[in-house]
Amino acid sequence: MDERGQLILEKLTTKASLKQAIYAHTLDTFEEMKRITKEIAEELASNIAPIDEKVKVEFTDKGEFEFHVKFSGDTLVFQMHSNVVKLMAQDPLNQQSYLSENPNNGFFGTIRVYNFLSDTIKYNRIQDQGVLLARLMVNWEKHYHIESPVYFNHIQPNIEKNVLNENNLRFFIQSAMISAIDSDLVAPPYQNIQLISWQQQMSNNQGKAGSKLGFHMSNEEAVVE
């Protein structure tokens, strides 16, 4: 094998192997989140039924990289990205010794949590927008980082101490559900919906939904350890 072939081999045994390990850990985490979310949904469904049978809580497995949990007017969409990413060079997290001393720790698999209106999915209102509640990032040691301007923005994370387990995954999922419930739909300004094309009307017979009012979790509620 020539010099450049040897270089390719070295990179395959280092970076490629690293990314495969991260992918495997992220997939394991995603499967664990599926299991926990299904448990949460089943527990809530059994407890809400005697109180109000019209309020439904449902879990739906959409395949290897996606699952949904529907609770009344909201549906959380959990998606795992199949690729491994690296933090941008200017990201402040790179200043942490855990990352600066071992650059391999700065590669992550990602799991995204979106909030959609349940009616958006039910009526296929393709113009409606979802809200990215959080992005969970997992590295080769199963350490994690959470990106979320919504309800984790006050945390100054130390990735070295953030190790995934069932308790903090459950808390993460429940926090996302609480945020979705606490955010209310706001009617769009009248002027924004005053004019509509016939094509828009034909493709979306209920019109575009309004926007979410906001998220109201307190700092005490939004800590994952």
Whole-number Cα distances in Å, 153 to 89, 105, 156, 162: 20, 22, 8, 16
Looking at residue 15, its pLDDT comes to 85
* 155: Cβ contacts below 8 Å, ≥ 6 apart: 146, 222, 223, 224
Looking at residue 68, its pLDDT comes to 97
Looking at residue 152, its pLDDT comes to 53
How much of the chain exceeds pLDDT 90, in percent?
42
Looking at residue 215, its pLDDT comes to 41
Q: In this predicted model, what pLDDT tens digit does every residue of 56-66 receive, in sequence order?
A: 899 999 999 99
Q: In this predicted model, what pLDDT tens digit does every residue of 20-43 receive, in sequence order?
A: 999 999 999 999 999 999 999 999
Q: In this predicted model, what pLDDT tens digit does every residue of 151-205 receive, in sequence order?
A: 554 455 689 988 899 998 998 999 899 888 887 666 777 777 777 777 766 666 5
Q: Where are the domains of the chain?
A: 3-212
